[in-house]
Structure 1
Amino acid sequence: MDGAGQQQRFKTPGDATGEQSLHGPATEIETGVGDPAVSKPPPSKRKRLVIAGGVLLVVCTLVVLGFCYWLHARQFESTDDAFIDGFQSKVASRVSGPVVALLVGDNDQVKAGQPILELDPRDYEVSLGQAQANAANAAAQAAQARADLQAMQADLNEDNAQVLVAQADATQARQDLARYEASSPDAISRQQFDQSKATALGMNAKLESARQAVNAGQAQLAAQQAKIDAADASSRQAAESVKNAELQLSYTHICAPVAGRITQRSVDVGNYVMPGQALLAIVPSRVWVTANFKETQLTHMRVGQLVTVTVDAYPGHPLHGHIESLQRGTGSFFSTLPAENATGNYVKVVQRVPVKIVFDGDDWHNYPLAPGMSVIPEVTVR
């Protein structure tokens, strides 16, 4: 390569002549001009101190804020495993029959004792009429048995009177016989003596017959009393049958057992229902919170501690309550398939314990709280 080619390779934009020899002034490649890492001046010591101070200030602020949050958070225990809880009253039919009237709709508010359903009552009205007729018949039989007893008592009284008469006649005959026996044989004839003796024997026999009649009358009286007792028992049984028929008839009118709202309605007019069939459920207005806290959160938790409840559906309206009770047993202990820790494959898991929280005041009535709604309770434990 010639000298002109060498000069062309090292030509720079700032060269006034457009050419530079290899032995001329230093080029950009040699001096490093144009390289950012080389051309940027190093930061000053003051700037490094400012940056380090800012980082330290941020770290200190975060530590202070974290410590303050810890001081605040250690006074409370909270969980998102919580929900609105409440009882539900299942309404079922106690008799069978077709539904002829449905007096409530879904989610209607009902009062305790309010009619909600009507079944066809005609079959039960007929049964009631038959029971009432049987009861009247049994009562008439009992009355007839008592009337017969009174008649038998009158006959027995007459038999007792006949005994007294026969007793008097027998006594008179014995006395006459005794006088004849004491008299001289020449004073009376043999015929008179034999007649007096026969009369005495006849009167004794008549007395004995009257006594037997009394005994028979007393036996008949006892038998009739037994008949009266049986008639009374039948009458009472018939009366109970009437009550049962009335009760069965009353079951055709189904009323709300508690106050609340209608839910889970599974029946309509025309459906044929059977005894024990669930028709609908009523959720009472009284609800509470069941919060499943970890067992490690119960260290300082006590009955009566104040709780702030935030309902997910109404986040801007916290409600207030207190702990009413802590369940004596974890949720897994009462599950359908409790853990068997003696099988050899035991793995320790933090358990949860249901805590019942009831609302204070009347603020919670302003919101349609329903069982199953999610909440976040915050318990003040210190």
Structure 2
Amino acid sequence: MNKDTIKSSDEKSRKKGFKGNLRKTALISIGVVILLGAIIYPFYKHAMTHESTDDAFVESHVVAISPRVAGHVAKVLVSDNQKVKKGDIIAEIDPRDFKVALDIATARLESSTASVTEAEALVISAQQELLQKRAELTSQTAGLSKTKSEVAEARAGYSRDENDLGRIQRIAKAGAVSIQEFDHAKAQERMSRASLNSAKYSIATQSAKVRQARAVIEAAQGKLQQAYAQIDMRKAQLREAQAAVEQSKLNLSYTNVVAPCSGYITKKAIEAGNYVMAGQNILSIVNPDVWVVANFKETQIMDMRSGQDVEIEVDSYPGVVFKGHVDSIQRGTGSRFTLLPAENAVGNFIKVVQRVPVKITLDSSAHAAGYDLAPGMSVVPSVDISTEGRAKKVSVALSDKQEQ
């Protein structure tokens, strides 16, 4: 075999090996690309269908507790981070002053009750007196009527005796009547005149008595009205005393500071012997029910809807993913509701992407799973914006069912 043949054979072997290596490299490259695609695609898909932010925190109802009355603290029945139930007594304020105030209010109530009873008795007495005076007026009016009839009778008798005296005078001039009969007729006429004058005087006297009786009735009516006014005033005082008793009872009950809700004691700033004022914050109660407030960029909420699924990662529990859903989106950015909103009506305006708070609720209790979530913890929520949201799905299902 000559040198040319050997050289040609070696060259063919090198070309064949190079092609083999090239094929292997291509296959490995394709495999690597496929593997990288398989690894990267889920992350790409997640990034395209989810919106997340690290500007999110756990929130809860935090109730600031303050006493409703002032006084010295007698007992403190809770400690920091203790769990309490609604209605549990947290602290006791010295009740002695409030018991004395209740005793005083009760005594005033009893006095007011007695005053009302007295006023009612005065009303009854005034009513009876008025009835008596009206009866007297009726009697005097009847006496006046009788006197008037007597005057009419006396006037008729006087008229008769006057006429008889005139006839006897004419007959006496003719000498047909004795002097004795003439004197008798004259005396009778004088007696009738005296009786008439006496009856007229009796009318004046009886009329005065009637007027006096009417004046007495008016006085009795005024006395009755005064008695009614007195009873109204004393009943008002009674209601005021009753209100004072109720207020004293409330103040006494307020000496026991109770928990208005269930939760955990935080920021306790009260000890036995302290003097506390009404409305002074002495501690806070954190409700175990929590949610997440995530401040998304305004460019992230375009496809966000209520009911969309959310995966929540809490910094305190790495590797643990909590499930939740979007509850609501605030109607306004966070900066709009700050104490001093930004004033942009100037020439040096710089556009800043605003943040919109989104409320996210947990689907299951984290406490039931052994995880304690407290207000202020940092979380990273990831909202699945590829779905329309549970609320929309439920409404559509209900509308379809109604149409069927």
TM-score normalised to structure 1 length: 0.82
Gaps of 5+ in 1: 1-43
SS in 2 for 1:113: coil
Deviation at 1:147, TM superposition (A): 0.7
Alignment match, 2:151: 177
State how far apart, in whole Å, the 2-side matches of 1:338 and 1:212 are. Answer: 78
Return the alpha-carbon distance in structure 1 between the equivalents of residues 270 and 236 of structure 2.
42
Q: Which has the higher helix share?
A: 2
Cross-structure match for 2:373 = 369
Q: Give, in angstroms, the shift of residue 66 of structure 1.
A: 3.9
Post-superposition CA distance 1:105-151 (Å, at most 9, x none): 11111111111110001111111111121222222222211111111
Matched, 1:125 2:103: no
Structure 1 equivalent of residue 282 of structure 2: 279
1:146 aligns with 2:124: no
- Corresponding position of 2:228: 225
Specify whether residues 92 and 71 from structure 1 end up closer, same or farther in structure 2 by C-alpha distance, changes over 3 A only: same
Matching residue within 106, 118, 132 for 1:158: 132
Q: Distance in 2 between matches of 1:281 and 1:319?
A: 27
The residue type paired with residue 280 of structure 1 is: L
> Residue type of the partner of 1:116?
I
Amino acid at match of 1:371: P
Instruction: Measure how far apart 1:298 and its partner are.
Output: 1.1
Sort the Cα spacing of 1:331 and 1:223 in 2 relative to 1 into closer, same or farther, 3 A.
Answer: same
1:347 lines up with 2:323 in the alignment? no
Q: Give the TM-score normalised by structure 2.
A: 0.78
Structure 1 segment 1-382 matched on structure 2, within 5 A:
49=22, 53=26, 57=30, 58=32, 62=36, 65-183=39-157, 184-185=160-161, 189=191, 190-362=193-365, 364-366=367-369, 367-382=371-386
Q: Structure 2 regions of 5+ residues with no counterpart?
A: 1-16, 163-187, 387-404
Structure 1 runs (4+) deviating above 3 angstroms are 44-68, 361-365
Give, in whole Å, the separation in 2 of the partners of 1:315 and 1:293: 22
- CA offset digits 1:175-208 (Å, max 9, x no partner): 0110111121356613322222222222222122
SS at match of 2:322: strand
Could you tell me how far apart the structure 2 residues matched to 1:347 and 1:192 are?
Answer: 121
Percent identity, aligned pairs only, is 41
Conserved? CA contact 1:288–1:359, under 8 Å: yes
Q: What is the rounded CA distance, in whole Å, between the counterparts of 1:132 and 1:254 in structure 2?
A: 24
1:126 and 1:194 map into 2 onto residues whose CA distance is: 78
| One-letter identity of the residue aligned with 1:245 | S
TM superposition shift of 1:301: 0.9
Q: CA RMSD in A?
A: 2.3
Kindly tell me the number of residue pairs found equivalent between the two proteins: 339
